[in-house]
Structure 1
Amino acid sequence: MSEINVLYVDDEQQNLNSFKAGFRSRYRIFTAISVAAALEILSREEIHVIISDQRMPEITGVEFFKITKVQYPHIPRVLLTGYTDVGVLAEAVNQGDIYRYITKPWNELELHNSILNAYDHYKINRDLREKIAELQKANDGLNRFVYSLSHELRAPIASAIGILDLVKLEGKTGDSGEYWKLMDACVQKLDYYISQTVQFYKTARFKVEHEQIGFEALVHSLISLYSTSNGSKEISFKVEVDEAEVFYGDKFRIEIVIANLLSNAIKCQRPEEPDKKIDIRIHTDANEASIIVADNGVGMEEAEQARIFDPFFKGTQPGGLGLGLYILQEALEKLNGSVAVHSKKGEGARFEVNIPNSPQHKE
C-alpha cells in the first residue's frame, strides 16, 4: 500500500502523542498543536487526510476545516468531537466541510477504517483531476486542429477556387478544359468536406445562444448562397414565410438546419426532371417554428429513410460526405427540436422540422 500522509491537529499534546503512537506503524504521521502549525505543514507536505479535534481554544475544528476547504479542497477532512453538536456537524457535512466525524475517545479500528476510506476518496479525486487535465489537453489540441481546418487550410483552398474562377471567366481553359473541371470539382469537394467537419464540431460543442430570428431574411440569404452551386440555377425555389409570432432561438444552429435541408434537396434533384423545384414553408407561433422543405427529386425507399440521419450514410444521395443530415439532427437535439421525413422513391422528399420558441431567453 502506498504511504499515506496523515495530519492530526489537536491543542492537547497528550492526544497528539497518543495518536502518533497508535498509527505511526501504518501511516506517515504529522501532528500540529495549533492551526498555524497545521497550515505550515500543509504548505510544505503532501497531506492525504486531515484529522482535527473539534474543541480547540483558538478556533473550532469545523472552522479550521472551512479554511482548509478553500486552500486545499481535495484533501478529505475527518473531525474528532467529544461532545454532541448535531446542528454544527450536520451543516459541516452538508456543506462538504468534513468527510466524516468520529466521537472521542476514538475507536482505533473505526478511525483506521475512516483514514483508509478517506484516502481512497483522495485517490479517486486525484485520478479524476488527472483525467480532466488530460481531457482538457486533448480538447485544446482538438480546438487547434479545428482552427487549422477552418482558417489555415481553407485559406489556400479559397485561393485555388478564386484562381479557377478567373481561368473560367477569362476563357483560358483551352484544350485542357476537362482537366480544369476535374480540378475545380476536387477543390470544391475538399472545401465542402472541411466545411462540414468544422460545422459538426461547432454544432456539438458551442453553447446554445438565443436571439430574435428573422426567417424571411435568413432563408433568402441561404438560397442566394446556394444559387451559385452546381445545378441549383435550374431549380425553382418557392418560399412562404409566416412569422405570426416573434421567434427566439439559436441562430447558428437554425441556420445549419435550414442550410442542410436546402443542400440535401439540391443534391437529390433528378437530372432528367425538367421542372426542378424546392418548396420552403416556415410558420412561427408562440410555441414553435415549423419548417418544411420539400423537393421533387429522387426520393428514397422506406428502409433508407430510417438511416439517413446516421453519420456517413449516403444511401442513393449523389456526392456529399454523409454528414449533413446527421449534423442537422445534432443541432436539433441542442435546440430540443424534432425532424420527420416523408418520401417515396422517385417522388421527392418532404422534411418537417419543429423547433421550440424560447422568448424567455430573449436578449
Structure 2
Amino acid sequence: MKNSRIRILYIDDEVHNLNAFRASFRRSYEIYTATSALEGRQLLKGIDVHIIIADQKMPVTTGVEFFHDIKNVLPEPIRILLTGYTDVEDIIDAINKGHIYSYIKKPWDEHELHRTINNAYEIYNARKQLKEKIVELEKTNDELNRFIYSTSHDLRSPLMSVLGIINLSRLDNTVTDPMGYMDMIESCVVKLDGFIQKIIEYYRNSRLDVEYEKIDFALLLKDCTDTFKHQNTSIDFHVDVDQPFDFKGDTFRISVILNNLISNAVKYQKPDAQSPKVNLGVKVEPHKATIRIEDNGIGILSEHLNNIFKMFFRSKNNNKPGSGIGLYIVKEALTKIGGTISVDSQYGEGTQFEITIPNRNEFDS
C-alpha cells in the first residue's frame, strides 16, 4: 500500500519546517526531506517522486533556481514553491516558464497545502496517462503502417502472377475465351493493383522524411506523361515549362502529385470526345512553382468540389473505376511540403487544378 501513496520530496534549509511538514502530512503521504538543493538532487537519483516542494529562500540555490535546473532532467514531478516573502517577479517568471505548478506562502495553511498537493497529483496522473496513450497510439500507428505496407507488397506479387498467366493463355492457341472472361479478370486485377499502389503511395507519403533536391520540371513532366500516354493514345498532351530559376523540392511527393492528377485527367475524358487534351503548365519563380493541369474531360459537379480531397470520396456522375484515394494523397503530399491546391471545374467541360509549391532553393540560400 505504501507504494500507492503520493510520494513527496520537501526541500527546506530550516529543519523545523521539515519536521512540521512531516508531522502534519506523514499519515497522508510518503514523505522525503532534504535540507539543500544538492541533497535533494541526490535523493531524486534513487527515488521516483510525484511532487517536489521547495522553499524559495535557501542558501546557495533558491527554490526557483533548483526547479529550473531539474526541469529538463526530471520533467514529470509536479513542482510547488514555498515562499515566506513576496518576490512576485521571480514567482511569475517561474510559473510562466513552467518551472513551477503553484506557490504557497509560508507559514502554510494545512488545508490549502493539502488541497494543492492533491490537485498537483491529479495533474501528474493525467500527464502520465496522456503520455502512455501517446506511446500506445504511436506504437499502434507504426504497426498498422508496417502491416499495410507489407501486405500491399505481398499482394502485388500474386496479382502480377495472375496477369502473367492471362498473357500466357492468350499466346496459347488451344485456349478459347468466347465470353471474354480473361479480359474481365485482367480488368479486375489491374484495378486491384492500382488500388494497392495507392495504398503504398499513401504509406510512403506518411512515413518518409521530406527530402529536397533540384528538379527539372521539363524532365519530370516528360516522365509523367510518358507513363500515361499509352492509356489513351488519342489525347493531345501539351506541356509548357517556364523555369528560369533553379527549383528545389521533394521529387517523390511532387511526382506523386503530378501522377495522380495526370492520371485523373486521362481517366475522366469524355468517351466520345473528338479532341481530348491535357494541358500541363509550370512557372518557376524564386520563391515558388505554380503548376496547372487542365483537361477537357467530363468535369466535376459543383456540389462535389468541396469533397473531392476526402478519403474514399467518389463522384456519382461517372462510371469510371477509381479508388477514391488519389486526390486525398495529393492533398496530404502537398501538406507535407507546404504546398496548396485549388480546383476549378465545369461539369461537361473539364477541370483545372492549380498547385503552388514553395521553392526550397530560396530558403537554403
| TM-score relative to the length of structure 1 | 0.84
Unaligned 5+ runs, structure 2: none
SS in structure 2 of the partner of residue 176 of structure 1:
coil
Q: Which residue of 2 aligns with 1:134?
A: 136
Is the 8 Å Cα contact of residues 238 and 280 (structure 2) preserved in structure 1?
Answer: yes
Cα 1:287/1:33, change in 2 over 3 Å: closer
How far apart in 1 are the matches of 2:271 and 2:25? 84
Deviations 1:160-214 (A, max 9, x none): 444544555x456830373332222222111111111232344455554433221
Q: Which amino acid aligns with 2:84?
A: G
Deviation at 1:78, TM superposition (A): 1.6
Distance 1:310 1:12, change over 3 A: closer
Partner of 1:122: 124
- Identity percentage of aligned residues: 42
Extract unaligned runs of 5+ from structure 1: none
- Which residue is equivalent to 1:243? 243
Cross-structure match for 1:311: 311
Describe the superposition over 1:15-49 as per-residue Cα deviations: whole angstroms up to 9, x where unpaired: 22111111224333233345565455544544211
Give the residue type in structure 2 aligned to 1:176. D
Instruction: Indicate if the aligned counterparts of 2:149 and 2:203 stay in contact, CA closer than 8 A.
Output: no
SS at match of 2:272: coil
1:353 counterpart letter in structure 2? I
Give the secondary structure class of the aligned counterpart of 2:176: helix
Aligned pairs (5 A) from 1:107-118: 107-118=109-120
Tell me the equivalent position of 1:272. Answer: 272
**What is the letter of the counterpart of residue 281 of structure 1?**
G
Letter of the aligned partner of 1:174 in structure 2? V
Partner in structure 2 of residue 192 of structure 1: 194
| C-alpha contact 2:56 2:64 (8 A) present in aligned 1 | yes
- Which residue number in structure 1 is paired with residue 342 of structure 2? 339
Question: Aligned equivalents of 1:319 and 1:260: distance in 2?
Answer: 14
- Aligned residue runs from structure 1 range 257-296, under 5 A: 257-296=257-296
CA distance in structure 1 between the partners assigned to 2:174 and 2:296 by the alignment: 35
Q: Show the counterpart of 2:176.
A: 175
1:359 positional shift: 3.1
Q: 1:329 aligns with which of 328, 331, 335?
A: 331
Q: Deviations over 1:193-244 (max 9, x none)?
A: 111123234445555443322111111111222234xx42343322222223
Report if aligned partners of 1:282, 1:292 keep a CA contact under 8 Å in 2: yes
Structure 1 contact 149–198 (Cα < 8 Å) conserved = no
For 1:272-322, what per-residue CA distance to the aligned partner results, in whole angstroms no more than 9, with x for missing partners?
A: 334433222222233433322233333344334454333323223400112
* 2: CA distance, partners of 1:60 / 1:314: 64
TM-fit CA distance, 1:63: 4.4
Q: When the two structures are aligned, how many residues end up with a matched partner?
A: 358
Paired residue type of 1:340:
V
**Superposed, which structure 2 residues align to 1:63-212 within 5 Å?**
63-83=65-85, 89=91, 92-165=94-167, 167-168=169-170, 170-171=171-172, 174-176=175-177, 178-204=180-206, 206-212=208-214
Maintained 8 Å contact 2:343/2:351: no
Q: Against the structure 1 CA distance between its residues 237 and 164, is the aligned structure 2 distance closer, same or farther, given a 3 Å change threshold?
A: farther
Pair 1:225 & 2:227 matched: yes
Tell me the SS of whatever aligns to 1:245: coil
What is the RMSD of the two structures over their aligned residues, measured on CA atoms? 3.0
CA deviation profile, 1:27-86 (whole Å, cap 9, x unmatched): 332333455654555445442111123344565434443454344211011222335555
CA distance in 2, matches of 1:98, 1:180: 72
CA offsets 1:340-363 (integer angstroms, 9 cap, x no match): 222232x33333333343433348
The 1:208–1:104 alpha-carbon spacing in structure 2 relative to 1, beyond 3 Å, is same
* Deviation for aligned residue 1:89: 4.5
Aligned partner of residue 232 in structure 1, secondary structure: coil
Three-state SS of the structure 2 residue aligned to 1:52 is strand
Runs of 4+ in 1 over 6 A off after TM superposition: none
Q: Which amino acid aligns with 2:98?
A: G
